[in-house]
Amino acid sequence: MHPLTNSSIIQDLGTSLGTHTCDETLDHLANSVHTLDVGHGWSSWCRRAAKMGVSSIQFVDIDPLDATLRFEKGTYRICINSKRPRTRQIFSLAHELAHVAMEQRLPYLASDLKNRSLFVTDFNEEEEALANSLAARMLMPRKTVSQIVSEFGNGIGAIQEMTRTFGTSVQAASRRITEVGERIACLLFRLEQNAERLRFRSLAAWNLPFLLRLFYPWMLCAKQIGLRPSTGVIQRITIGFPVSTSTTADFECEARCNSNREVIVATSMAT
């Protein structure tokens, strides 16, 4: 079951759109936004924004925020953090457009927005989670992700192609490829500055059972993982996952290091 299934907003959106499940509702709304324009680049998303009633998109220093949404004189205005990398800026724009898309479907959300302060930073957790999920679906449509996986395989190759096609980060692409339902688990690490090995504490994990997410950081402490920090090169490595208090199962995985010394690891282990 999708974690947002019981969301009252999802239920109201489903009634508005005539859909029955959480995935159907989010995919339907995402597709309605995506089809406003062709392409996946920044200019394409700016054109979509204009068609949704966004009158301006500005780059400003708004640390620690990634973006803000403002409603003024009947139009939306979006500010994007100028210090963030372009991949983050694209996702932030999609996130704010997700809020707009939901508010245009549900009048009570739009009314709530108009009654808030001009710079909106106080969306509740439910709205934020929905906006993140919807943004990922808008940026990386299910059909296109499935086509990429079919062509490039269920692993690092597909994730690399997703980052090229959609302009998203490896984190966003990794999370999305697991959401689409492909049998893949992804981990994200960062290389030590002066050592050709992975840090013991990972940055993120997707599609792994809860206990593995809890235990794999210390598991890495007990096992050396050899990885040449060659940017863009897909390498085969072995990672041991604890399956009991005394047993560790080895999984052969694909790994790739990017220019930020972040390492994405993918395995087709069943979840």
| Choice between 66 and 241, residue whose per-residue pLDDT is larger | 66
Q: Give the contacts of 70 (CB within 8 A, at least 6 positions apart).
A: 76, 77, 78, 79, 118, 119, 120
Write out pLDDT tens, residues 40-68: 899 999 999 999 999 999 999 998 899 99
Average pLDDT of the chain is 78
pTM of the model: 0.80
Which among 189, 186, 171 is positioned nearest to 91, based on CA atoms? 171
pLDDT digits (tens, 9 = 90+) for 200-233: 445 566 776 655 555 555 444 434 455 665 666 7
The percentage of residues in the chain with a pLDDT greater than 70, rounded to a whole number, is 69
32 pLDDT above the threshold of 90: yes
Residue 163 has pLDDT above 80, yes or no: yes
Residue 146 has pLDDT above 70, yes or no: yes
Tokens 């996946």 -> residue: 40
Has residue 108 got a pLDDT over 60? yes
The answer to whether residues 80 and 61 touch, using CB atoms and an 8 Å cutoff, is: no
Phi, psi of 203 (to 5 degrees): -90, -35
